[in-house]
Structures are given as structure tokens and as C-alpha cells.
């Protein structure tokens, strides 16, 4: 499951994200509200965690933009503000849950799992399609031309990122930052290697997983 975590306290952001990754979630990190909104505009997330007090755009404004755009992404709001009025404002703006800071990590994970168990929230994200390639996110299965194909964990994550951004050209830096959560080393060919693995297993003709020379890759899918 892919999560966006927006938090301006860098230590909390990184430490919590690392623990979520160890628990099997794929996490994109944003240090301000504007960055969070840019992520949300371009990537499909199963859940977003938004701190209210963020620079450039606060969490409530990000939440309102999410709902105004018609996105159904479940959202957990984090805040050090403890008044009932503050919580009501967030829930009225479209938050699915509210967690006061400081919070226990175990409680955060429990709330995440509770939201992701709601069928109405996750059904639209469970399956991704690109031509003859189908991904079942919940069951961690991939098929091509009707035949199930076994993928390693990182291969699956790279393919999921491409298919969630279908028909959008993504850079090697974006893929590596999303899947591995560290800055892209321009001298590294790790992304190219994984793309080669995916093509060999799923798309030997290069019909769907295409290279955009000098830029990156795109999952070219018919709407």
C-alpha cells in the first residue's frame, strides 16, 4: 500500500516513515503542504497522513483541495492542537481520522490498518490495468496476457509506480525516490536494470513500458 506522509518536523517524518516501510508500506515523504499537494496531484495513494501545522500550505488546506478535486483518498490528520473545535474543523473538511501529537507509533499503524480495511476506500486502488498487464495490489499478483507472472518485491513496486502514473512520463529520480526512498545517483543504472527485468517478464515488445530518451519512462496505456 502506498502512503503519503506530510510532516514538517524532519526527524519525526523520517523516523516514522522508516518504521512504516519496515512494516510493509511504501511511503512518499513531504516536508510542507505544497509539496504534499504536488504529490497528490500526480500519484494515486491508498492513504495520506497530513500534519496540520505545515509551511507553504497547512494540512487543512491540502485536505480541502483533496476533497474539492474529488479524490477519495482516506486521510489521517495529525495535530498538536487539542481543542474539540480543531478536530471538528478537520473532520468537517473531509478527514477520515484524527490523531493528536505526540502519538504512539503503534496507534498510528492501527488507525492506518483500520482505514485500509474499509472496502469502499480501497476498492478503486486494488487493481491497476495497462493494456494486457494487470496488477492486483491487495493480493500482490501480476498477470500479462492472462498469465500470472512472478515479480520480486522491488520489481512489483517499480511497476506499481509506473502504472499509478500511467501515460505520465516519470524520471529515474522519481522512481528511485518513491521505491527506495533515497536520492537518485545519476551514475546508477539500478532503475534501468529493473525496467529491463519488467520488460523481459511482462512486455518483451516494449508496447507498454516505454523509454522516453533523456527523460525517463512511461507506462503507455490506452484509456
pLDDT for 109 equals 92
Contacts of 221 (CB under 8 A, 6+ apart): 129, 130, 131, 163, 166, 167, 208
Q: Which residues make Cβ contacts (< 8 Å) with residue 104, sequence separation at least 6? A: none
Q: How many CB atoms lie within 10 A of CB 184?
A: 16
The pLDDT of residue 84 is 65
Q: What pLDDT sits at residue 124? A: 44
* Domain ranges, ordered by start, for the chain: 2-117, 127-219
Q: How far apart are alpha carbons 135 and 149 in whole angstroms? A: 10
CA distance 60 to 77: 8
pLDDT confidence of residue 136 = 87
Pairing outcome for strands 209-212 and 147-149: unpaired
Provide, rounded to the nearest whole percent, the portion of the chain with pLDDT above 70. Answer: 88
Q: What pTM was estimated for this model as a whole?
A: 0.55
- Domains 2-117 and 127-219 in one fold: no
Q: What CATH number was assigned to the domain covering residues 127-219?
A: 1.10.10.10
Residue with cell 529520480: 173
**pLDDT score at 83:** 60
**Residue where the block lists cell 510542507:** 32
Specify the pLDDT at position 139. 78
Task: Write out residues in the chain with pLDDT < 70, as ranges.
Answer: 81-84, 86-87, 118-125, 181-188, 223
Residues 2-117: name the CATH superfamily. Response regulator (3.40.50.2300)
Amino acid at each position: 500500500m502506498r502512503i503519503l506522509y506530510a510532516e514538517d518536523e524532519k526527524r519525526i517524518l523520517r523516523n516514522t516513515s522508516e518504521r512504516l516501510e519496515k512494516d510493509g508500506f511504501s511511503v512518499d515523504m513531504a516536508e510542507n503542504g505544497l509539496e504534499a499537494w504536488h504529490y497528490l496531484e500526480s500519484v494515486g495513494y491508498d492513504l495520506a497522513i497530513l500534519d496540520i501545522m505545515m509551511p507553504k500550505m497547512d494540512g487543512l488546506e491540502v485536505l480541502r483541495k483533496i476533497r474539492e478535486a474529488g479524490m477519495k483518498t482516506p486521510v489521517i490528520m495529525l495535530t498538536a492542537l487539542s481543542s474539540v473545535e480543531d478536530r471538528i474543523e478537520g473532520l468537517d473538511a473531509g478527514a477520515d481520522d484524527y490523531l493528536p501529537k505526540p502519538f504512539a507509533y503503534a496507534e498510528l499503524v492501527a488507525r492506518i490498518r483500520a482505514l485500509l480495511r474499509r472496502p469502499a476506500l480501497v476498492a478503486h486502488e486494488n487493481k491497476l490495468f495497462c493494456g494486457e498487464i494487470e496488477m492486483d495490489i491487495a493480493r500482490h499478483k501480476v498477470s500479462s496476457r492472462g498469465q500470472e507472472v512472478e515479480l520480486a518485491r522491488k520489481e512489483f513496486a517499480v511497476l506499481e509506480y509506473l502504472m499509478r502514473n500511467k501515460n505520465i512520463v516519470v524520471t529515474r529520480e522519481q522512481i528511485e525516490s518513491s521505491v527506495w526512498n533515497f536520492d537518485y545517483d545519476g551514475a546508477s543504472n539500478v532503475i534501468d536494470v529493473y525496467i529491463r527485468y519488467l520488460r523481459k517478464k511482462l512486455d518483451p515488445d516494449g508496447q507498454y513500458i516505454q523509454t522516453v530518451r533523456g527523460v525517463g519512462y512511461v507506462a503507455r496505456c490506452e484509456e
